[in-house]
Amino acid sequence: MNTFENTGLDKNILKAIASLGFEKTTPIQESTISILMNSNKDMIATAETGTGKTAAFGLPMLHLTDIGDLTTQSLVLCPTRELCIQIALDLANYAKNMDGINILSVYGGSSIENQIKALRKGVHIVIGTPGRTKDLIKRKKLKIHSVARVVLDEADEMLTMGFKEDLEAILGETPKQKQTLLFSATMSPKVISITKKYMHNPLEISVAPMNLGAKNVQHIYYMVHIKDRYEAIKRVADSNPNIYGIVFCRTRRETKEVANKLMHDNYNADTLHGELTQAQRDEVMNRFRKRTIQLLVATDVAARGLDVTDLTHIINYNLPDEPEVYIHRSGRTGRAGKTGISIAIIHTREMGRIKEIERKGGISFKCESIPNGIDICQKRLYSLIDKIENIEVDEKQIGPFLPAIYEKLEYLDRENLIKHFVSAEFNRYLSYYKNSRDINVSNRNDKKNHEKKRKDISQKRQESSFCGYLINIGFKDQVNPSRLIGLINECIGSKKAIIGNIDIMKTQSIIEVDDKWSSKLQKGIKGKSFEGKKLTIEVLNKKNTPSSNSKKVHKSKRRNDGKAWNKKFKSKGRWQKSSKRK
- Whole-prediction pTM: 0.54
- Cα separation, 422 vs 381, in Å, equals 8
Q: What Å distances lie between residue 292 and 268, 295, 383, 387, 502, CA to CA?
A: 7, 9, 19, 18, 46
- Cα separation, 568 vs 337, in Å, equals 56
- Residues 500-524 as b or e (16 or more Cβ within 10 Å = b): bbbbbeeebbbbbbbeebeeebeeb
- Cα separation, 249 vs 318, in Å, equals 6
Give the relative orientation of helices 81-94 and 53-64 as an angle to the nearest 10 degrees: 50
Q: What architecture is domain 212-371? A: 3-Layer(aba) Sandwich (3.40)
Please state which CATH number belongs to domain 4-206.
3.40.50.300
DSSP notation for 439-461: -B---GGGHHHHHHHHHHHHHHH
Query: Could you tell me the fold of the domain covering 463-581?
Result: Alpha-Beta Plaits (3.30.70)
Could you tell me where the DSSP H helices lie in 72-129? 81-94, 112-121
Which residues of the chain are in CATH 3.30.70.330 domains?
Answer: 463-581
- Answer yes or no: are the C-beta atoms of 474 and 508 closer than 8 Å: yes
How many other C-beta atoms lie within 10 A of the C-beta of residue 193? Answer: 12
pLDDT by residue for the chain (582 residues), tens only, comes to: 578 888 889 999 999 998 888 878 888 888 899 889 988 899 998 876 667 888 999 999 999 999 999 999 999 999 888 788 889 989 999 999 999 999 999 998 788 999 999 999 999 999 999 999 999 999 999 999 999 999 999 887 788 777 888 999 999 999 989 999 998 876 777 788 888 888 888 998 876 554 444 578 999 999 999 999 999 999 999 999 899 999 999 888 899 999 999 999 989 999 987 677 767 878 888 899 889 999 999 987 777 667 677 899 999 999 988 887 888 888 888 876 788 999 999 988 889 999 999 988 888 999 999 988 888 888 878 877 888 888 888 888 888 898 998 888 888 888 888 888 777 767 777 777 777 888 888 765 445 555 555 666 666 666 668 888 999 998 888 888 878 888 898 888 887 788 888 888 888 999 988 888 888 899 899 888 888 889 999 988 654 444 433 333 333 333 333 343 443 333 333 333 333 333
Which residues of the chain are in CATH 3.40.50.300 domains?
Answer: 4-206, 212-371
